[in-house]
Amino acid sequence: MTDLHIAVLREAARLGFGRVRVARAGPPPNFDRYDAFLAAGYHAEMAWMAESRDKRSDCRQMLPQAKSVVVLAMDYAQPAPPDPGGLTGRVASYAWGRDYHALIGLRVRHLRKALEAAFPGLATWGAVDSAPSWERGWAEAAGLGFNGKNGLAIVPGEGSYFFLATMLLSEELPPDAPVPERCGRCRRCLDVCPTGALLEAGGMDAAKCISYLTIEHDGPIPEAYRAKMGRWVFGCDDCQTVCPHQHPAKGPVPEDFAPRRAWLPLPAILEATDQALRDTFEGSPLRRAAPDRIRRNAAIVLGNIGDPRARAVLLRARDGGNTILAEHADWALGRL
């Protein structure tokens, strides 16, 4: 093992990355899956996935002299807070704490800075998933995990509750071997998906996914999927929760990912101003869903809960002048 390799492992661990694996730089293996996903239109309204396709197809477009791809993972699994009941909605576990983009992006920058200082002439590039890097493809190539039927990178016997980042290096490190696929005949994630977003042949149709619909999708949510959202007001964990590979994190999880907003008070969401919602969700992944979207989601979940105590707030939402929110509030009132 070279001095650079040792330094990468040591510094990454010091910064909280519990898993580090290496792949050779170049076109990601199995990138045909990404192209097939785009060709089928499964990226729905996420045009950025098509626009960044060429950059994702070969990491050397980000760092021409890249020879190694270092894949970094940081666990975020936390025990689920108890269900408070009442007029509350569920939040996907990745969004319970601080926004991982800022936290992990900063640590990747610290890692690159430390390596470049220790190894003059070393060139690096790093990214979390907001940059054009195919993290899950690289995680599979580097042997960090395998690509599960739920479309997530899974570490055998440990699970998928971790964030990914990639770092390119201009020096060659010995690559790690891929791990074999371990889903076998299991189909728990396919069977539990409320909307049938997961495909039998592998992959996902984003337009049916509750995470996509509640976070990325603008405008009305198709009526066929509203009742299937259940109490999910932001994201969905169903396909992860049922995976038999899920186990508690082995090491400490950063306090930044502690559950601060695992459940949201839906009437308060509906009544809040845009600025109040932005202030409330400052520094949280929840800010990704614009105020209109989170209120739309809240109205649907109140309809799914079916508690008559929500009638007054839904009536105000219906009559408040926002056309899309009014439609969803009216749908929810019909469910009470």
129 flagged as catalytic: yes
Distance CA 144, CA 156 (A): 9
What is the per-residue DSSP string for 187-244? -HHHHH-TT--B-TTSSB-GGG-HHIIIII--SPPPHHHHGGGTTEEE---HHHHT-T
DSSP one-letter string for 18-86? -EEEEEESSSPTTTHHHHHHHHTTTTTT-HHHHHTHHHHT-GGGTSTT--EEEEEEEE---PPPPP--S
| pLDDT attached to residue 124 | 98
The SS3 call for residue 278 is: helix
What is the domain partition of the chain in residue ranges? Answer: 3-80+97-169, 206-333
Q: Which residues of 29-43 are buried (b: 16+ CB within 10 A; e: fewer)?
A: eebebbeebeeeebb
CATH C-level class of 3-80+97-169: alpha beta
Q: In terms of residues, how long is the chain?
A: 336
The DSSP bridge partners found for residue 263 are 90
Positions of the chain with pLDDT lower than 50, given as ranges: none
First to last CA, the chain: 64
- Contact indicator for 191, 145 with CB cutoff of 8 Å: no
- What pLDDT is stored for residue 254 in this prediction? 83
Q: What is the pLDDT of residue 129?
A: 85
- CA quadruple 277, 289, 73, 2: dihedral sign: negative
Q: What is the pTM of this model?
A: 0.95
Residue type, 325: L
Indicate which residue of 3, 32, 129, 274 is catalytic: 129
